[in-house]
């Protein structure tokens, strides 16, 4: 009997190519780009999960993987971050008393924890990875002010990306284990494209892919 596949959802084809390059031949893994941002990621992942289930080949779990920004002193460029939880950091409302999350407004949850067993296996396979909160943002952080606000609100934040929470919601609604992996391409904070090392992050993603099967 063929083993159920693990779905690895990435944002763009370059990330998919990086992950595929590191997978062992014949690994029961499917890697698919689902789009940039939480909405595209949620919709794209949900569609893949529904199609697989309808075809009688439901996935055994879902990993959101890709490059991302690392919070200073938590995750350096070229390193890996595993999410203990994926948080929709800008989902909420502004108020005279400051930002209020969706939870505080009573409309839902902004945090989705990683599946404990899937996270445990990834930590064992990737012992050098930092484990912490990974923030999902629709707008990449580009200023010291935003960095300060995020670190105040989420002092355990290790990385930021644009898709994790969306993928997590799709996996949760399908009843599947979820985890998130980020390879760090740049520091979170004032936007400086000269400091970005996308090739290094993609190489780290390829090296980590051996643990994703």
The CATH number of whichever domain residue 182 belongs to comes to 3.40.50.1580
Asked whether residue 13 is assigned to any structural domain, the reply reads: yes
Say what the pLDDT of residue 2 is.
Answer: 62
Chunked mean pLDDT (size 10), the chain, 213 residues: 84 97 92 96 97 94 97 94 95 79 77 96 95 95 90 94 97 97 93 85 94 78
CA distance linking residue 175 with residue 138, whole number of Å? 25
Q: C-alpha angle 209/211/213, rounded to 5°?
A: 85
Number of domains composing the chain = 1
State which residues form the domain around 199. 6-211
**Residue 172 forms part of a structural domain:** yes
Question: Which residues lie across from 160 on neighbouring strands?
Answer: 69, 135
Q: What is the pLDDT of residue 1?
A: 46
Q: What is the pLDDT of residue 210?
A: 86
- Tokens 């460029």, residue located: 77
Whether residue 129 is contained in a domain is answered as yes
Residue 1 resides in a domain: no
Domain for residue 16, yes or no?
A: yes
Its pTM stands at: 0.92
Position 30 in a domain: yes
| Bridge partners of residue 67, in order along the sequence | 183
The pLDDT assigned to 103 comes to 76
φ, ψ dihedrals at 56, nearest 5°:
75, 25
Q: Tell me the C-alpha to C-alpha distance, in Å, between residue 142 and each of 113, 123, 188, 202.
A: 26, 30, 7, 21
State whether residue 26 is helix, strand or coil.
coil
* 136: helix, strand or coil: strand
Report yes or no on 74 lying in a domain.
yes
Q: Is residue 53 part of a domain?
A: yes
pLDDT at 96: 83
């Amino acid at each position: 009997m063929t083993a159920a596949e693990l779905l690895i959802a990435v944002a763009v084809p370059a990330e998919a190519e990086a992950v595929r390059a590191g997978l062992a031949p014949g690994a029961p893994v499917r890697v698919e780009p689902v789009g940039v941002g939480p909405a595209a990621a949620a919709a794209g992942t949900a569609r893949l999960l529904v199609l697989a289930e309808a075809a009688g080949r439901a996935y055994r779990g879902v990993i959101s993987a890709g490059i991302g920004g690392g919070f200073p002193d938590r995750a350096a460029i070229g390193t890996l971050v595993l999410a203990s939880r994926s948080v929709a950091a800008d989902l909420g409302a502004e108020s005279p008393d400051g930002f209020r999350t969706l939870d505080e407004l009573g409309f839902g949850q902004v945090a989705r924890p990683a599946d404990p067993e899937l996270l445990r296996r990834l930590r064992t396979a990737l012992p050098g990875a930092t484990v912490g909160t990974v923030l999902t943002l629709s707008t990449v952080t580009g200023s010291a002010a935003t960095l300060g606000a995020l670190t105040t609100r989420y002092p355990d934040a290790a990385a930021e990306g644009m898709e994790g929470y969306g993928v997590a919601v799709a996996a949760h609604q399908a009843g599947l284990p979820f985890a998130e992996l980020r390879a760090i391409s740049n520091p979170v904070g004032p936007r400086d494209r000269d400091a970005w090392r996308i090739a290094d992050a993609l190489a780290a993603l390829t090296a980590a892919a051996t643990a994703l099967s």
